[in-house]
A and B are shown apart, each in its own frame.
Chain A
Amino acid sequence: MISLLLIVLTSLFFMGIVVRTKSIASGRKGPGLFQPMKDVIRLWKKGAVYSKTTSFIFQIAPSIYFASIIMAILVIPFGQYKGIVSFDGDFVFFAYVLALGKFFSIIGALDTGSSFEGMGASREALYSMLAEPAFFILMGSFALYTGHTSFHEIFVSLHFGSYISYGLGTLATFVLVMIAMIENSRMPVDDPKTHLELTMVHEVMILDNSGFDLGLILYGTNLKFAMYGALIANFFTGSFSILISILIFLAVQIMFAITVGILESFSARFRMGNNAQFIFTLTSISILIFFGVLLIMGKFV
C-alpha cells in the first residue's frame, strides 16, 4: 500500500523535475515542477476527437494500458513492506502485465488505419521485445543470489557485502534506468520532442488520442517512471526504518529524474537502425550481472 502511495506521489512531480533539469541545462528557467501534471489534468477535463476509422478497440485501449501500469505498481514492494499483490514469481506477472498494456497500446495505434502510427507501433513492439530478456535475466540473477523469486523477498534479503556486490548494484541500476528509458520511449532510443512523425516512436502511436485518453497515456508515462524509480530505490532501502526508507526513496526518485533530464539534455538519439543493437547489449550487461553473482557465490570453479 505504502509503495503505491509513494509512487503516485512521486509521479506528480517526476516529469516536472525532468523538464526543469532540461531547462536549466539549456539555460532557461523552465516551468514549475507541477506543470506536466497540470497539463494532464487539463486534458482530463477536455472533450476528444475520434477518427471515423477507429472501433471500440481504440476506446478501451488507453484504459487497459493505464490499468496495466497500475497493476504493475501494485506488485512493487516498499522496503520490508510487501506490495498489495505479492507471490512467488511476481516479477513475471509484473513484466507480463506491462506487456498486456503494450499489446493494447499497439493495437490501439493500428486501429486508426494511419500511415504513421503503424510505424511507431512496429518499433515499440520490437524494442520492448528486445528489452525484455535484460529484465528477466537481471531478476533471474537476483533470484539466484538471494534464493527467492518474489520482488519482496528478493529486496528484503538483498545485502551488499563485498565490492563485487556494490558493482552489481550499480550495473543493475544502470540496466533498470536504461529499461525505464526504453519502456518510456525516452532519449537514447526515442526523442519525445521530435516534430517529425517519421522519426517518432511512442509519440506517433498516440497521434490520434486526445482528451481524457491522452491524459491517461501521459500520466501513465509519469507513473511508469516513478515505478521504475521505486524498483531502483528498493535496491537501497533494505532494512532501514520507515522514515529513513521514505527519505531514501524520495532521494533516489529525484536523483533518477535528474539523471533522466541530464541524459536527455546531453545525448542525441540513436539512428533507428542502431537502436535494436543498443537495446540488445543491455542483455549482455544483464548476463554480466549473472556472472558476477556466480562469482560472489563461488560457483565458478
Chain B
Amino acid sequence: MITTENLTKKYNSQQVLNIESLEIPKGQSFGLVGNNGAGKTTFFSLLLDLIQPTSGKIINNEVQVSSSEDWKPFTSAFIDESFLIGYLTPEEYFYFIGDLRGANRADVDKLLSSFEDFFHGEILGQKKYLRDLSKGNQKKAGIVASFIGNPEVVVLDEPFANLDPTTQIRLKAIIKELAAKEDVTVLISSHDLLHVTEVCERIVVLNKGEIVKDIQTSAETLKELETFFGE
C-alpha cells in the first residue's frame, strides 16, 4: 500500500530522516517508535506531503504523494492540534470533515454514535468550541475525525499521549478493531512501548532518522524493545 524509496530529509546539512526502503502492505497495523527527534513525525509529514523530501519518494497506493493530490481521498490523519479548527464545535468539525470526505450527516452521526463510550460524554453536545476543550478531549475529537469517510490509510501521531487511562484502553480497542479490517492500513507512532506492541502487528524502530529494527510483533517484542531502549 505504502512504498518508501530512498527517502531522505535534510534541514541545512543535518539529516533528520534516511529510509532506504520501507514497504507497508495493505491492511497492516504499523507502529513507529523512537526517541524524540528520531524522525517519526517527519516521516508522517512526508507521507502527508506537508514537507518536501530532500530526495526519494513515498508512493501511497500507486500515487506519488509529492506530485499528485490523488492520495487525499483515501488517506486521513491526525498529527497534532493544528488539524483541528478551533472555532468550530466538535459536531460542526465532524460534519465539515464529513463534507470534505463525502460522508453526509447521517453517515457521520452513525459513526459518532459508535464512539459514544470513547467520548465519555465530554465531546458532543457540550456547547463548547474545540479551542475551549481540554488537550485530551481535543485529541479525542481529532482522532475520531480521522475515521470519517471510510479512509483506507489512517495516520495517527502519538494518539495515546495526553489521554486518561480509561480512554487509552478504549482507544486501543478501537484501533485494534480498525486494524482488523482487511482494507484499512493504520500507521501509529508512539513513545509508549506497551501500547504500541499491543495494537500493532509490526513495529519499526527509528533512531536518528534511520530504521534500526523491523519486527513482527510477538510475545517477546516488548522485552526486545525495552532492552533496546534501555541501553
**A and B interact:** no
Q: Please list the residues of chain B having a beta carbon within 8 angstroms of any beta carbon in chain A.
A: none
Q: Please list the residues of chain A having a beta carbon within 8 angstroms of any beta carbon in chain B.
A: none
